[in-house]
A and B are shown apart, each in its own frame.
Chain A
Amino acid sequence: MFRILEKREMAERTVCEFKIEVPDIAKKAQPGQFVVIRANETGERIPLTMAGTDPEAGTINIIFQVVGKTTALLRSLGEGDEIVDIIGPLGVPTHVEKLGTVICVGGGTGVAVMYPITKAYKEAGNHVIAIVGARTKDLLILEEEMKAASHDLRVTTDDGSYGHHGFVTDVLKQILDGGDDVKLVVGIGPVPMMKFLCKMTKEYDVKTVVSLNPIMVDATGMCGACRVSVGGRTRFCCVEGPEFDGHQVDFDELVKRQRAYLTEEKVSMDRFTEQVPE
Chain B
Amino acid sequence: MAEEKAKGKKREKVPRQKMLEQKPEDRVKNFDEVPFGYTPELARLEAGRCLQCKKPKCNDGCPVEIDIPAFIQLIYEGDFIGAAHKLKEQNSLPAICGRVCPQEDQCEKVCILGKKDEPVAVGRLERFAADWERAQGKIEIPEKDPPTGKRVAVAGSGPAGLTVAGDLIKKGHEVTIFEALHKTGGVLVYGIPEFRLPKAIVQAEIDYLAQLGVEIKAGYVIGRIKTVDELFEEGYDAIFLGLGAGLPLFMNIPGENLCGIYSANEYLTRSNLMKAYLFPEYDTPIAKGKNVAVFGAGNVSMDSARTALRLGADKVRIVYRRSRVEMPARIEEIHHAEEEGVEFHLLTTPARFMGDDDGWVTGMECIRMELGEPDESGRRRPIPIKGSEFSMDCDLVVVAIGAGANPLLPTTTPGLELNKRGYIVADEEDGKTTKKGVWAGGDIVTGSATVILAMGAGRHAANSMHDYLMSGQTTWP
Interface residues of A (CB under 8 A from B): 24-25, 28, 38, 42-45, 69-70, 84-90, 217-218, 220-225, 227-229, 234, 239, 253, 256-257, 259-261, 264-265, 267-268, 271
| Residues on the B chain within 8 Å of A28, using CB | 224-226
Residue numbers in A under 8 Å from B247 (CB-CB):
221-222
Q: Are B359 and A264 in contact (CB-based, < 8 A)?
A: no
Question: Are A220 and B221 closer than 8 Å at their CB atoms?
Answer: yes
Stretch at the interface among B51-59, B275-283, B326-334, B344-352: B275-283
Q: Which residues of A contact B33 (CB under 8 A)?
A: none
CB-defined contacts of B407 to chain A, threshold 8 Å: 221, 239
Chain A, Cβ-Cβ closest to B275: A42
Beta-carbon contacts under 8 Å, B251-285 to A: 252, 256-257, 259-260, 262-263, 265-266, 269-270, 274-275, 279-285
Given known pairs A223-B269, A257-B359, A264-B279, the reply for A234 and B252 (CB within 8 Å) is yes
Q: What residues of B have a CB within 8 angstroms of the CB of A259 in the complex?
A: 259, 358-359
Q: A28-B225, A88-B224, A217-B274 are in contact. Are A260 and B248 (CB under 8 A)?
A: no
Bound Cα distance A257, B261 (Å): 10
Q: Give B contacts to A, CB under 8 Å.
A: 180-182, 218-221, 224-226, 246-248, 250, 252, 256-257, 259-260, 262-263, 265-266, 269-270, 274-275, 279-285, 287, 358-360, 406-408
Q: How far is the CB of B406 from chain A (nearest CB, A)?
A: 5
Cβ of B406 and Cβ of A221 under 8 Å apart?
Answer: yes
Q: A69 to B262, alpha carbons, bound, how many Å?
A: 23
Query: Are B248 and A42 within 8 A (Cβ)?
Result: no
Residues of B within 8 A of A268 (CB): 280, 283, 285
Q: Do A43 and B181 contact each other (CB < 8 Å), given the known contacts A223-B248, A257-B359?
A: no
- Contact yes or no, B182 A45, CB < 8 A: yes
Tell me whether A44 and B225 are in contact (CB under 8 A): no
- 25 A-B contacts, Cβ less than 8 Å apart? A24-B220, A28-B224, A44-B282, A45-B284, A85-B218, A87-B220, A217-B269, A220-B181, A220-B246, A220-B408, A221-B246, A221-B247, A222-B247, A222-B248, A223-B248, A224-B248, A225-B266, A239-B408, A256-B358, A259-B259, A259-B358, A260-B259, A260-B260, A260-B360, A268-B280
> What is the chain A residue whose CB lies nearest that of B288?
A264
> In angstroms, how far is the closest chain B Cβ from the Cβ of A28?
6
Are B224 and A90 in contact (CB-based, < 8 A)?
Answer: yes
Assuming the contacts A44-B274, A220-B221, A223-B263, asked whether A261 and B250 have C-beta atoms less than 8 A apart, the reply is no
The complex places the Cα of A90 from the Cα of B181 at a distance, in Å, of 12
A42 and B257 form a contact (CB under 8 A): no
Which B residues are CB-close (under 8 A) to A224? Answer: 248, 250, 262-263, 265-266
Q: Which A residues lie within 8 Å of B246 (CB)?
A: 220-222
- A85 contacts across to B, CB distance below 8 A: 182, 218-219
Query: What is the bound-complex CA distance between A264 and B180, given in angstroms?
Result: 27
Cα distance, A106 to B280, chains bound together (Å): 34
B263 pairs with A267, CB closer than 8 A: no
Top 8 A-B residue pairs of the complex, sorted by shortest distance between their CB atoms: A256-B359, A264-B285, A223-B266, A44-B283, A87-B219, A260-B259, A222-B246, A224-B263
Given the interface pairs A218-B181, A222-B248, the reply to whether A253 lies near B257 with Cβ below 8 Å is: yes
> Would you give the shortest CB distance from B1 to chain A, in whole angstroms?
51
Interface centre among A86, A220, A239, A259 (most CB of B within 10 A): A220
Chain B residues positioned under 8 Å from A38 (CB to CB): 182
Assembled-state Cα–Cα distance A161/B269 (Å): 46
Contact check, A45 vs B274: say whether CB atoms are below 8 A apart. yes
A222 in contact with B265 (CB, 8 Å): yes
B259 surroundings in chain A (CB, below 8 A): 256-257, 259-260
Q: Which residue of A lies closest to B249 (CB)?
A: A224
Closest CB-CB distance, B229 to chain A, in whole Å? 13
A186 CB, nearest partner CB in chain B, Å: 23
Residues of B within 8 A of A87 (CB): 180, 182, 219-221
Neighbouring B residues of A43 by C-beta, 8 Å? 282-283
**Chain B hits for A84, CB < 8 A:** 182
The smallest C-beta distance from A86 to any residue of chain B, in angstroms, reads 7
The residue that A69 contacts in the complex, of B181, B226, B283, with Cβ under 8 A, is B283
The one of A220, A225, A253 in contact with B359, judged by C-beta atoms closer than 8 angstroms, is A253
- Chain B residues near A70 (CB, 8 Å)? 283
Residues from chain A with a CB closer than 8 A to the CB of B181 are: 218, 220
Residue pair B219, A86 in contact (C-beta under 8 Å): yes
B257, A217: Cβ atoms closer than 8 Å:
no
Q: Are B280 and A218 in contact (CB under 8 A)?
A: no
Interface centre among B220, B281, B283, B287, by most A CB within 10 Å?
Answer: B283
Nearest opposing residue in chain A for B358, CB measure: A256
Q: Is the CB of A221 within 8 A of B250?
A: no
Q: How far is the CB of B260 from chain A (nearest CB, A)?
A: 8
**Interface pair A89/B279, CB less than 8 Å apart:** no
